[in-house]
Amino acid sequence: MSSAALPSHDSHGVAHHADAHGHGHSASFLSTYVFSLDHKVIGIQFLFSTLIWFLIGGLLALAVRWQIAWPWSPVPGLAHLYTAEGGQMSPEAYTMLFTMHATVMIFLVIIPILAGAFGNFLIPLMIGADDMAFPTLNMLSYWFMWPAFICFGASFFVEGGASAAGWTSYPPLSVVKTATPGSLNGQTLWLLGLTFVGVSSMMGSVNYMTTIILMRAPGMTMFRMPLTIWGMFITAVLQAFALPVLTAAGFMQLMDREMGTGFFTAEGNVVNNFSVSAGGGQPLLWQHLFWFYSHPAVYIMILPAMGMVSDILSCFARKPIFGYKPMVYSIAGIAGLGFIVWGHHMFVSGMNPALGMTFMVSTMMIALPSAIKTFNWLGTIWGGKIQYTTPMLFALSFVSMFIIGGLSGIFMAATPVDIFIHDTYFIVAHFHYVLFAGTAMGVWGAIYFWFPKMFGRMMNEFWGKVHFLLTFIFLNGTFFPMHILGAGGFPRRLADAYHYELFQHMQPLNAFMTWCAIGMVATQIIFAINFFYSMFYGPVAGRNPWKANGLEWSAPSPPGHGNFDFQPIIYRGPYEYGSPETTEDYYPQIQPPPPGAKPAVEHH
Ligand code: HEM
Ligand SMILES: [Cu+2]
């Protein structure tokens, strides 16, 4: 191991860090593990909570898939909840299940696992800070998720059941209480839950921006930050500008439901034979407000993963990231463009074709920075000494699957094509390739990669690879045929498409996909066992098991309170693998250059 991976003997640094916060001394169980102010504990709290919701979301998905494969046959395990229908799922229950599957996956899994779990754990460690700028706010951002957990969780048990208006919550379904059983109480809880998630995200966002701007260690310039941090930083900016719109819109919808306003209900609206006009509102207004948040939100759901994957690829290709600065500008470009494309979700809403055209063009422009990133990932691994570790396999999967998801996005961005495939399974294929085959695979890669830093022990590589391989096969088996179904017109969000004869021949393919989905969920048992077993019995990791450059790998595993047992001083960026200045193939950010060496050349 090179000398730099060891801490320097700067006792001042130790003393300074230990005294930095007054809270470092009381060591009660509550303040250490429950209401902890330590960013690492909060990150791990987010990780555990979101993984539990991941399981719940996965089971909801299986129930949805069961109905698509074998409609009206009793769902195993759920049958007793639907006795009125002889164990069958009602169409309303189906609608509720896919609504809550998407809601859980997006708002309780993907967004909080990226920003809440990895953002919290990694930001201070990667920039050389001893904690977040506002530790109490940070703790609150985790605990504000609990009212959300309770609202969404409890909504399954209230009269009418959980929300059934889709994760997009379009009026009039979401506003008119008689529209569907879930519109009665479930929808109110849904809106409240969403508000709490929003409050939590906003607290995190403010904290991350402040921390990254103000608390970097000496020498850690903005352009020496790992791409993970750039991804987190720009995500935080996106949250700050997009979230207020959703929060306000959610409140307006809540008022429409509970206080008789009519922001989103049209004049003369009749739903299920009830006249519900409060007058003068516009259902379409909701769509605009919702997508003004939720399109940027899809980047909130992937930019941090893009950053983490970049770090993993560079480490295991043993090469500098190809085009570091273009990568940063691409993340920023994707985020900026993300604010002017929301109308691509509304091409069939009757918008003026001229407006549709501008949304089409701006959406297609996003392909540019996306392609820059993709080519730079390929450039990074090109000619590298690739080590096919478990995190690397997941990262490679992220890149290849993101290409599929990005390409289907371009199809949909073309208005004439989208008019045909909108609301078909093609859309479902697209967002599962970007969100599951992309982001979720990136998250697994990140878990395998940073697990040793989190818990001080390694996960098992053999079972990691088995987990990867089976997940990769099953996910493609589940999601790829959705393109075929979608191109054939198979509708999304319909409890029984086989009602129409033209879709009946698609049932066997759907059954195959459901088997793959069951296999995919079952495969996660391997991951769960590996995760918990390794936490206690995995081989001890040491500070830098992957021989990586990033600053976090110079801290102890797991880092103690205050993170670094020395004062970090940063000499270079995190991607200097194979530098001629050192005989090792890696060159940690804190390792001083050899005496007489020319100043390190930054890679651009
Ligand atoms: C090259 C980049 C991308 C392009 C051009 C693109 C384009 C589109 C378009 C045009 C739609 C609307 C299709 C329709 O409903 O008719 C859509 C839907 C969607 N996209 Fe993307 N997309 C891209 C990347 C992403 C990424 C990175 C994510 C998430 C990580 C994402 C998540 C989604 C989701 C969740 C939907 C469905 C929303 C819903 O109706 O429920 N997309 N995309
Ligand atoms: Cu979009």
Percentage of residues of the chain with pLDDT beyond 90: 81
* pLDDT tens digits, one per residue of 552-602: 999 999 999 999 999 999 999 999 999 999 889 999 999 999 887 665 555
Does 278 contact ligand 1 (Cβ within 6 A)?
Answer: no
Band of residue 3 on the pLDDT scale cut at 50, 70, 90 = very low
> Minimum mean pLDDT among 141-150, 222-231, 263-272, 502-511: which range?
263-272
Long-range CB pairs of 588-597 (<8 Å, 24+ gap) are: 588/2, 588/4, 588/5, 588/544, 588/549, 588/551, 588/553, 588/554, 589/220, 589/224, 589/549, 589/550, 589/551, 589/554, 590/4, 590/8, 590/551, 590/554, 591/2, 591/3, 591/4, 591/5, 592/4
Q: Identify whether 558 is preceded by a cis peptide bond (ω within 30 of 0).
A: yes
In sequence order, what DSSP letters do the residues of 310-357 get, joined into one string? HHHHHHHHTSPPTTHHHHHHHHHHHHHHGGG-GGGG-GGGT--HHHHH
Bridge partners for 270 per DSSP: 275
Task: Output the 3-class SS for 367-428.
Answer: HHHHHHHHHHHHHHHCCCCCCCCHHHHHHHHHHHHHHHHHHHHHHHHCHHHHHHHCCEHHHH
d(CA 175, CA 276): 10
* pLDDT tens digits, one per residue of 126-158: 999 999 999 999 999 999 999 999 999 999 999
Q: What angle do CA 297, 174, 270 make, to 5 degrees?
A: 140
For the chain, the first-to-last Cα distance in angstroms comes to: 28
Distances (CA, A) of 142 to 37, 117, 198: 10, 10, 12
- With b meaning 16 or more CB within 10 Å and e meaning fewer, what string describes 536-567? eebeebebbbbbbbbbbbbbebbbebbbbbbb
DSSP letter at 216 equals: P
Sequence letter at residue 50: T
CB 117 within 8 A of CB 128: no
Mean pLDDT of 258-267: 88
Site of tokens 């903005």: 222
Band of residue 109 on the pLDDT scale cut at 50, 70, 90 = very high
Which atom of ligand 1 lies at the shortest distance from residue 413's CA? 10
Predicted pLDDT at 270: 79
> Minimum mean pLDDT among 60-64, 120-124, 276-280: which range?
276-280
pTM: 0.92
**358 C-alpha to center of ligand 2: Å?**
14
Sequence letter at residue 537: Y
Q: Identify whether 599 is preceded by a cis peptide bond (ω within 30 of 0).
A: no
Give ion ligand 2 contacts, CB < 5 A: 295
Bridge partners for 162 per DSSP: 186
Task: Starting from the CA of residue 295, give the closest ligand.
Answer: 2
d(CA 227, CA 469): 27
Sequence letter at residue 392: M
d(CA 131, CA 115): 15
Mean pLDDT of 233-239: 97
Predicted pLDDT at 1: 35
Band of residue 116 on the pLDDT scale cut at 50, 70, 90 = very high
Strands (E), 220-314: 270-271, 274-275
Does 412 contact ligand 1 (Cβ within 6 A)?
Answer: yes
d(CA 184, CA 99): 15
Residue 376 has pLDDT above 80, yes or no: yes
Predicted pLDDT at 83: 54
- The contacts of residue 13 (CB under 8 Å, 6+ apart) are 564, 565, 566, 567
Mean pLDDT of 230-249: 96
Mean pLDDT of 35-57: 96
> Minimum mean pLDDT among 63-67, 259-263, 415-419: which range?
259-263
CA of residue 210 relative to chain centroid, distance = 21
DSSP letter at 79 equals: G
Taking CA atoms only, the protein residue closest to ligand 1 atom 5 is 409
> Minimum mean pLDDT among 30-34, 35-39, 93-97, 424-428: which range?
30-34
Predicted pLDDT at 14: 40
Residue 541 has pLDDT above 60, yes or no: yes
Predicted pLDDT at 516: 98
* pLDDT tens digits, one per residue of 268-279: 777 777 777 666
d(CA 146, CA 123): 23
- The contacts of residue 1 (CB under 8 Å, 6+ apart) are 544
Does 403 contact ligand 1 (Cβ within 6 A)?
Answer: no
Distances (CA, A) of 90 to 75, 145, 365: 11, 31, 43
Which atom of ligand 1 lies at the shortest distance from residue 364's CA? 5
**Half-sphere exposure (Cβ direction) of 401: Cα atoms closer than 13 Å:** 32
CB 603 within 8 A of CB 223: no
d(CA 20, CA 11): 14
Which atom of ligand 1 lies at the shortest distance from residue 435's CA? 30
Bridge partners for 457 per DSSP: 540
Predicted pLDDT at 567: 94
More confident residue, 588 or 35: 588
Tokens matching residue 27: 């060591």
Band of residue 216 on the pLDDT scale cut at 50, 70, 90 = very high
Taking CA atoms only, the protein residue closest to ligand 1 atom 36 is 431
Mean pLDDT of 312-317: 98
CA neighbor of 155 nearest in space, from 202, 106, 99: 99
Pairing of strands 270-271, 274-275: antiparallel
Mean pLDDT of the chain: 91
Angle of helix 425-432 versus helix 390-413 axis, rounded to 10: 140
- The contacts of residue 112 (CB under 8 Å, 6+ apart) are 46, 49, 50, 145, 197, 200, 201
Pocket test of ligand 1: the residue of 167, 345, 374 to mutate, having most ligand atoms within 8 Å of its CB, is 345
**179 C-alpha to center of ligand 1: Å?**
27
Give the helix/strand (H/E) hosting 497.
Answer: none
> Minimum mean pLDDT among 74-83, 259-268, 521-530: which range?
74-83
Q: How many CB atoms lie within 10 A of CB 432?
A: 22
Q: What angle do CA 149, 24, 128 make, to 5 degrees?
A: 85
Instruction: Note the helical H segments in 70-163.
Output: 91-103, 111, 120-127, 135-143, 145-155
Q: At 274, phi and psi to the nearest 5?
A: -100, 135
> Minimum mean pLDDT among 119-123, 164-168, 175-179: which range?
175-179
Does 413 contact ligand 1 (Cβ within 6 A)?
Answer: yes
**Half-sphere exposure (Cβ direction) of 529: Cα atoms closer than 13 Å:** 11
Predicted pLDDT at 178: 86
Tokens matching residue 419: 């008019």
Band of residue 28 on the pLDDT scale cut at 50, 70, 90 = confident
**294 C-alpha to center of ligand 1: Å?**
10
